[in-house]
Structure 1
């Protein structure tokens, strides 16, 4: 049998399953750079204003770590720089798409059924890569065309669009490899997302070295995101990098195929340990089972947020001093990002908003775990026992609400303690930064409530909560800095959270968001108690 026999039908199946998600994702990614063009034209309409913005941003290492190295002050270079985060999102989407169409299908048993037909062993892997890489290429070309339509240079627009494609292809290959390593989709996603984190870190180290001239700039070449950057859109394009990308993607694909040929169907290269034949006494309740399912991600996420809090607390004072010496334009930029207060407060406040966004993602993932339990048939045997639906859902709801709270508490406590030790005022800074972190919880719970409402009423759309989060993410990062209209800014849920530290505490918005979250959760639980189960 040919290695690709049956791949065409699986490609059509994947396109049918993603017929809504892929177009929405493509439109979102194509639209964001165009929004940046309009925002920069509105906020910094002259070359002199863009030069001032460049001089402020290029010396701010926090911006370099988040967005990448800023090459120049032209409109195209600024748009390409701000689109660095979008490159990361494209990579994550490609990674998760490949895993969903390979390891998730195999874990659910559907791969075995498909494999019993006239389909080759590697057809599903080929179909997943073709669909994902094709979507990444279309996304890149459409991005280039829309930017050309905004009167940006053709070569730079094509390089920026292909930068998105590069990230999609390379992380599709990484996803294909990760899918061969573990027996569960969760493990494959953990490996893939860890690779994303490592790539972002290496790119940040390399970019800081490039920007400062006194660091290991060569580290940039160890990251796929560095390869995207080195296409250098609008800065003297380096087209030869595309040959490196093709070679890297081919090597990852060959590795994935080789690993797939060496393992048994249903297994991974890393074998899972067999569990005990009988459950421990502490694993005989819905809450105990939920703890068993959530504990790994909960511990790792909390530890990760504590480390990020340590970094934020450690650099806050030095960054404030840097921005103090960077002129009035720097202070204006930070004021738009972080609101009132000292320069340190204006840096920390956006970090708290990003904390809220990240913890909201964790909360939605907890709801998706509940959905996966139902879709994959594991909830039905459990509900056949004396456990009712509300106890089952409530056990996962507890971790969706309290898990992010634990992460927020860890981040705020560590950041406040570290910053307090740096300034010699732990008694003052610890409660200030901890309070600034805790006020993010009502907004996080709104997204938790939305996810549970969709799970109870329209379970197939529960992943749509991520689309709402993406919109909030873009508005939260770009709207205030780029002087978008107030009505656009107000669309972000996190815009209504008190801008702490430094701003005024407001109880009413927090109460409204908490009540809204409670209502959404109640609607979801009522819907769950009345609808049919399972719903595929």
Structure 2
């Protein structure tokens, strides 16, 4: 079959092409009844909680002005957080959360859209739906509508919450719309990726790569000379090329530029229109970037379930490894400048110490970056484990298990990729972080050894989340969406919890909170041992459940 649909499918869309959209939307919202509220509440409340935290940390205008001046004076920290456009409490909230909130909203949106488009085609469910009274464009419309509802929820909760805590209404609304608008744009971009690829995993990967590129453009623009100068507003050209940069260009609490919303609306409308045009020009189940046919005879490496798991996941693992290596190289080069920039600013020093520990400021900065790499690495581990469920729901597991392959051997192949792959990506990030930091201080060997060890120390916590995913796949396979919510919650706790001064019991909900702050912190064997033991127990629970339950 051709990827191009029949001529009749290219006629202008009418009501029949959208038939059943409401029903599909209700179905999507029912399927995501846990995931969407969890994302909306976690993201919205994280933004709202930042205001009281900054009010406690910087309780005078002089202290806020000092923070803004110190942050804007250093390009490395502008690259990480963006420039401070206004030193009011609202301005600090926008500085801290506009970029991060936009990225998280984009992740939420791309997951929703791919789940209800390409994943539905991949599993064969959409073909069954389209055989009934459902229009060709109804699934895409329902998916985008679900993302719109989620992004609107984030925007409304952010705006209402910030207004209720005393922030100006205009700035609160602008920040909420900036975060929600970014999420909606990437929802439309994910819709295009779903038309281009035959795999939901690849569609998520392509959209995630676009999001990473947008963040890199924003960081490069903000790091340039003059981006943090008074009155510049971070107006480097590169930030205008990034949808993540648009969120800060709306200038919440800093003289709002409402016309930037037209940029969001126009870009989203054009991207969504392109997705609809592509939908009308391909056959169901196919894509514009079809998978290449393999060789006539399989390689020896594909003779077992382990080789198959490696073949399915090697591209994803390679992408994660390259990404971690790049991030490590970037932040290793600016680590030494962090201590110089902070100087005697006690408040800023306290933020780094809460993130990275009480050791020297440079070590605290390195520990904070290592901790961020560790929490993001959990996405690699969890995604590799949940590939088991994707193979099962896609109908590809049954033919494998119908041969001389047991369920435990089949699952073990993917688990090995998850566990070993996590260590590989963290080693890549730790290696480049250590090498570039060591080069900046004239001690490559010493810096590399310390930072690489610190990165590998994050492995047990990421393994624990992978083990949770294994237990869910084995015992509660319908609750895999909750695993992503748990992983995102751990990432938020690790990155925002110390800054927001959350109580220790809340921070302890994340396995990462129990690890030592390395490099520079005191090391004990206890957390590594009990996290490894917990991982082993959860993996066993998942494998026992998988062995006993029905497949599919």
Normalising by the residue count of structure 2, what TM-score does the alignment of the two structures yield?
0.92
1:384 aligns with 2:402: yes
Distance 1:331 1:36 in 2: 18
1:317 aligns with 2:336: yes
Distance 2:499 2:73 in 1: 17
Q: Structure 1 residues 342, 230: CA separation in 2 closer, same or farther (over 3 Å shift)?
A: same
Q: Structure 1 residues 29, 414: CA separation in 2 closer, same or farther (over 3 Å shift)?
A: closer
Deviates more, 1:392-401 or 1:457-466: 457-466
Distance 1:170 1:54 in 2: 30
Distance 1:505 1:64 in 2: 32
Q: Secondary structure at the match of 2:550?
A: coil
Distance 1:90 1:337 in 2: 23
Q: Secondary structure at the match of 2:257?
A: coil
Q: Which of 103, 117, 122 lines up with 1:107 in the alignment?
A: 122
**Cα deviation, residue 398, structure 1:** 0.5
Tell me the equivalent position of 1:224. Answer: 243
**Cα deviation, residue 334, structure 1:** 2.3
Runs of 4+ in 1 over 4 A off after TM superposition: 213-216
Distance 2:391 2:253 in 1: 47
Tell me the equivalent position of 1:445. Answer: 463
Q: Do the aligned partners of 2:198 and 2:286 also contact (CA within 8 Å) in 1?
A: yes
Distance 2:506 2:72 in 1: 27
* Mapping 1:112-511, distance limit 5 Å: 112-209=127-224, 211-213=227-229, 217-324=236-343, 327-511=345-529
**Cα deviation, residue 50, structure 1:** 2.7
Q: Secondary structure at the match of 1:211?
A: coil
Tell me the equivalent position of 2:547. Answer: 529
Deviates more, 1:379-388 or 1:485-494: 485-494
1:88 aligns with 2:103: yes
Distance 1:180 1:380 in 2: 27
Distance 1:143 1:483 in 2: 20
Deviates more, 1:328-337 or 1:164-173: 328-337
Q: Do the aligned partners of 1:42 and 1:483 also contact (CA within 8 Å) in 2?
A: no
Q: Structure 1 residues 146, 346: CA separation in 2 closer, same or farther (over 3 Å shift)?
A: same
Deviates more, 1:405-414 or 1:388-397: 405-414
Q: Secondary structure at the match of 2:227?
A: helix
Distance 2:350 2:545 in 1: 48
Distance 2:508 2:62 in 1: 30
Q: Do the aligned partners of 1:183 and 1:271 also contact (CA within 8 Å) in 2?
A: yes
User: What is the count of residue pairs matched by the alignment?
Assistant: 533
Q: Do the aligned partners of 2:194 and 2:203 also contact (CA within 8 Å) in 1?
A: yes
Q: Structure 1 residues 298, 355: CA separation in 2 closer, same or farther (over 3 Å shift)?
A: same
Q: Do the aligned partners of 2:474 and 2:545 also contact (CA within 8 Å) in 1?
A: yes
Tell me the equivalent position of 1:76. Answer: 90
Deviations 1:425-467 (A, max 9, x none): 2332222111111111111111111111111111112332222
**Cα deviation, residue 233, structure 1:** 1.1
Root mean square deviation of aligned Cα: 2.0
Distance 2:410 2:486 in 1: 26
Q: Do the aligned partners of 2:57 and 2:347 also contact (CA within 8 Å) in 1?
A: no
Q: Structure 1 residues 165, 524: CA separation in 2 closer, same or farther (over 3 Å shift)?
A: same
Q: Structure 1 residues 164, 330: CA separation in 2 closer, same or farther (over 3 Å shift)?
A: closer
Distance 2:162 2:528 in 1: 39
Q: Which of 20, 44, 61 lines up with 1:6 in the alignment?
A: 20
Q: Secondary structure at the match of 1:212?
A: coil
* Mapping 1:47-86, distance limit 5 Å: 47-83=61-97, 84-86=99-101
Q: Do the aligned partners of 1:363 and 1:401 also contact (CA within 8 Å) in 2?
A: yes
Q: Which runs of 5+ in 2 are unaligned?
A: 1-13
Q: Structure 1 residues 45, 490: CA separation in 2 closer, same or farther (over 3 Å shift)?
A: farther
**Cα deviation, residue 362, structure 1:** 0.5
Q: Do the aligned partners of 1:43 and 1:483 also contact (CA within 8 Å) in 2?
A: no
Q: Secondary structure at the match of 1:262?
A: coil
Deviates more, 1:73-82 or 1:334-343: 334-343
Q: Secondary structure at the match of 1:304?
A: helix
Deviations 1:409-436 (A, max 9, x none): 2222222223223323233222211111
Distance 1:126 1:482 in 2: 38
Q: Structure 1 residues 417, 30: CA separation in 2 closer, same or farther (over 3 Å shift)?
A: closer
**Cα deviation, residue 340, structure 1:** 2.9
**Cα deviation, residue 59, structure 1:** 3.0
Q: Do the aligned partners of 2:43 and 2:101 also contact (CA within 8 Å) in 1?
A: yes
